[in-house]
Amino acid sequence: MGRQALIHQMTMKRREFVGNTARTAAGIAAATLVSESAFATPAFRFSQISLPYAYGALEPYIDATTMDIHFNRHHTAYIKNANDALDAEKISAADETEFFTNIGKYSAKARNNGGGVWNHNFFWQVMKPAGGAPQGKLVDALAGTFGSLEKFKELFTAAGMARFGSGWAWLVKDEGKLKIGSTANQDNPLMPGLDIKGTPLLALDVWEHAYYLKYQNKRVDYISAWWNVVNWDHVAKNL
C-alpha cells in the first residue's frame, strides 16, 4: 500500500472512532436523562379532595347552595391561584408541610391561596351528617383540658366570634397539649409565627361566604348550628 493510501486509511479510521465515541456519549447522556426523569419526584401541586358527602347532606344546618358555591367556586379558585403562585415564584416545596414551614418566603398570593386550599380540604373532613358527640379518649381529653365538653364548645365558639373579619377557629395539639385559637384570612397553625400553632384537630371557617346565605350576619347562629355536623370521629383520628 502506498504512503498516501495508508495515511488516508488511518484518517478515516480516526474519524470513525471519534464519531462512534461521540454517538456513544450522546446515547449515555440521553439514557441518563430518561432514567433521571423516570425517577424524579413530581413537582408539588395543590389539589382538592372530593367532598365526602352530598351538597345538601348537612341540611338544615348548612344549606346545599352554600356548600355548592363554597366548594366549587371559592375552594377551586384557591387551588388555581395557589398553583399559579407556585409556578410564578418557582416554589419547589416537596409537600404542603414544607410549603407552610417556609411560608414567610413567599408572596401574599401564595400564602393566602395555599392556606385556602389546605384549610378547606381539612374543613370538609371535620364535618358529616348527624355528627353526634365525641366519645372515649377525645371527650376525656377535651374535658381534662377545658373542664367539660360544654366549656370547650363555649371557648371554641368564643374564638370564632372574636375573630374580626374573615378567618378560622382552631383546636390544635401542641407539644401534647390541647389549645384553642384563631387565625386571620387563610392562615393556619402550620404556619410559623402565629399566636396559635400545633397539629390541627378541628377547624371552623368563619368567613362570611361560609354562612351568609343562610345566616346573614348572625355568625353566632351559624356556629351554634355547626356543632350538629362536627365529625367527631375524624377529630379523634386527628388526635
SS3 204: strand
CA 114, CA 122: separation in Å to the nearest integer? 13
CA 152, CA 133: separation in Å to the nearest integer? 13
Query: What per-residue confidence (pLDDT) applies to 228?
Result: 98
Consecutive 10-residue averages of pLDDT for the chain (239 residues): 49 50 46 40 84 98 98 98 96 94 97 98 97 93 97 98 97 96 98 96 98 98 98 95
CA 22, CA 161: separation in Å to the nearest integer? 71
The C-alpha cell at 96 is: 404542603
Query: What per-residue confidence (pLDDT) applies to 93?
Result: 92
- Domains present along the chain, CATH in parentheses: 64-125 (1.10.287.990), 136-238 (3.55.40.20)
CA 48, CA 121: separation in Å to the nearest integer? 7
- Per residue in 155-212, pLDDT (tens digit) is 999 999 999 999 999 999 999 999 999 999 999 999 999 999 999 999 999 999 999 9
